[in-house]
Amino acid sequence: MPQYRSVGRFVLDQDTGSAIKGAGRVDIFMGTGQAAQDQAGLIKSSGRLYYLLLKESD
């Protein structure tokens, strides 16, 4: 039985991907190989996404 845990990290947008449809959806690259594939298959839940924007200086 898989063990679930909360994960928080900074990520960068790199592409929109053809499978990503609709606002508020992202794709997370977990790596290559069987271990990454197994881990990626467990991520199917809601989360929070924040964008950090630069503030214009006066």
b vs e for 4-42, b when ≥16 Cβ sit within 10 Å of the residue's Cβ? eeeeeeeeeeeeeeeeeeeeeeeeeeeeeeeeeeeeeee
Res 40: pLDDT: 80
Res 2: pLDDT: 64
User: Domain coordinates of the chain in residue numbers?
Assistant: 1-58
- Contact of 21 with 12, CB cutoff 8 Å: no
Res 49: pLDDT: 78
Give the pTM. 0.46
Tens of pLDDT, residues 1-58: 666 777 777 777 666 667 667 776 777 778 889 988 888 877 777 777 788 889 988 7
